Amino acid sequence: MRWRLGYHGIATTRGFPRAAFGHFGFGGSGAWGDPERELSVALIVNSGLGTPFGDLRTARIGGAALGCANARAKPAGLLQEPMAIAAR
């Protein structure tokens, strides 16, 4: 990760979404958004503890949210063929 002030790339437990950007604080809080998926994730903590990557729970929560967003983007596959409505 390239460190800088402002926003940077995102890592989750389910990969690195290309369009996502966010910022994580040393105190554990962090937030990111992915405009392609219309998704945002945030974790705010008041512990004062963490790592330069923020709280690692953010990566797990982000991975779960990313998995849900990816599943939402796929067709359900319940109907294999379009239903024909019988004319009366």
In a domain, 16, yes or no: no
In a domain, 68, yes or no: yes
In a domain, 67, yes or no: yes
6/37 Cα distance (integer angstroms): 21
In a domain, 88, yes or no: no
In the numeric block, which tokens belong to residue 71? Answer: 């599943």
Give the residue among 27, 14, 18 at the shortest CA–CA distance from 62: 14
Question: Could you tell me the residue range of the domain that residue 65 belongs to?
Answer: 21-73
Structure pTM?
0.70
Burial class for 45, CB neighbours closer than 10 Å (0-12, 13-18, 19+): middle
Q: Would you state the pLDDT for residue 62? A: 92
Give the type of residue at 86: A
Domain count, the chain: 1
Give the type of residue at 74: K
| CA–CA–CA angle 59, 64, 70 (5° rounding) | 120
In a domain, 69, yes or no: yes
Per-residue pLDDT 10s for the chain (88 aa) are 455 567 888 889 999 999 999 988 777 788 999 999 999 999 888 776 666 556 778 889 999 999 999 888 877 655 555 555 655 5
In a domain, 11, yes or no: no
Q: Would you state the pLDDT for residue 5? A: 67
